[in-house]
Chain A
Amino acid sequence: MDAITSYIDHMFRSLPPTTEVSRARSELLQMSEDRYRELLAEGVSENEAVGRVITQFGNLDELADDLGIRRELDRAGSEGEGASVEFSHEEAEHFLDVRRRGAWFISAGVFVILLGISQLVFFAEGTAGVDGNTETVPLALLFVCIAGAVALFIVGGVSLSRYDRLEHKELRLEPQVATAYRAQREREQGTFVALLAGGVALIILAVAIPAIFVDATSGPAGNRAVALMLVIIAIGVTILIQAGMRRGALDRLTAEGDYAPEKRRSNSITGRVAGPYWMLAAAVFLGWSFIGDAWDRSWMVWPIAGILFGAVVVTIESFSPDKRKVDGGR
């Protein structure tokens, strides 16, 4: 009997757990069980009975359209081995390690860009650039920072893309390992929310700094306020990237029920977005400052970019992870 159950389980295991599919599974299992019992009652040997039941089982392809699983079946077929990959405990740990390192590289990249901008603003004299004379050294330093950030983004991006081949597959972990990661994800839930809230709060507080010194924004004190704001934004952003990417990696490991590839892709999105996002912000800032000769106003790019980034991360994190629970109950 076990042989038949595991045969049917194997046939169904890459399919989404909809009510239609689970109904088909239990009906087919029931039919096969009945046939098996009857064959045994007729005096057929166990092996022979299992063989005959399996021969008569048929092919799930016939059910594909009725069950609404055509897409999943075709995908499983086209990928040969199937839409899922065995993942050992060591591999899972390694995966988390690689993701953690990727998160550090990317958040360090963003941090370096913001630091570069910060020192540029800090060393700008008076109402910087009104006479078109921005200091050469801080500017050069900024470009060094940007170059360093690009290097960090590339290294981080490579470490993220190492698992790209698994992107559209389901990772299959041993049950107890999967349970352990699910428990870990639950345990880290509080920290995760705290980090997310803390990161966003830091950014908002940072934005308030120049506002407090608003009457002074034109003097060196104003510059220092803006520079401080940038450093604090950088810390907030680093926290958001770290929290988001950690969460994304754990989601990836625990997301067994998450079958739709569009949903799976949302994992680690925070990490992928962060680099280009802050590079773009730097480009807008520099473009506006140089072309528009707006050094006195262009710092506004940063509070806007910071809060927007917070909004993006919070949105990603509140929509991607637990959606499957809603779908699964269908």
Chain B
Amino acid sequence: MISADFIRGYVDLLVLESLLDEPSYGYAISKRIEQLAQGQYEMKETTLYSAVRRLEKSGAVTSFQGTHTQGRARTYYRLTDAGRRFYDEKCEEWRQTVALVGRFVRDSR
């Protein structure tokens, strides 16, 4: 299990990734993250909602009312162009972070 504190700076990246291919809604995003996390990290609902709402306010995603396959109404979130650029920036930031921290990590052998 990776601690929530460690992921904190990358919650946005996780959420944006779930929206790259198609618009999605709350629980579906949560499930997508759960699958990719493979049990190593669990995102709380409030963390997810807070991220989505923040991204919506900053214009990275837009929301619309859609209908789920089973006929129930859901708020769907769609990635905007700005959101895509933001995702790329976060990915680049992550690569640099990995590279930076990597320079301090010695092989323990």
Contacts and interface: CB of A to CB of B under 8 A. Distances in A.
A31 interface: yes
B12 to A, nearest CB: 13
B89 interface: no
A66 interface: yes
B64 to A, nearest CB: 14
Contacts of A27: 26, 49, 75
A86 B48 CA distance: 33
B50 interface: yes
Contacts, number: 51
A184 B46 CA distance: 40
Contacts of B46: 28, 57-60, 62-63
B74 A30 contact: yes
A68 to B, nearest CB: 11
B53 interface: yes
A28 B74 CA distance: 11
A35 interface: yes
Interface residues of A, number: 17
Interface in A153-199: none
A62 B8 CA distance: 11
Contact of A35 (B30, B49, B50): B30
A60 B54 CA distance: 15
A32 B44 CA distance: 11
Contact residues of A: prevailing secondary structure: helix
Q: Which of A27, A38, A59 has the most CB of B within 10 A?
A: A27
Interface residues of B, number: 18
A24 B47 CA distance: 12
Contacts of A24: 49, 53
Nearest to A30: B26
B50 A28 contact: no
Contact of B45 (A38, A56, A66): A56
Interface of A: 24, 27-28, 30-32, 34-35, 38, 56-60, 62-63, 66
A59 B25 CA distance: 20
Contacts of A38: 27, 31
Contact of B44 (A30, A57, A66): A57
A60 B74 CA distance: 21
Q: Which of A31, A38, A57 has the most CB of B within 10 A?
A: A31
A58 B26 contact: no
Contacts of A35: 27, 30
B44 A31 contact: no
A32 B47 CA distance: 13
Contact of A32 (B31, B42, B45): B45
B27 A66 contact: no
A179 to B, nearest CB: 30
A31 B50 contact: no
A63 B50 contact: yes
Contacts of B30: 31, 35
Contacts of A34: 26-27
Closest 4 CB pairs of A and B: A58-B44, A58-B46, A34-B27, A31-B26
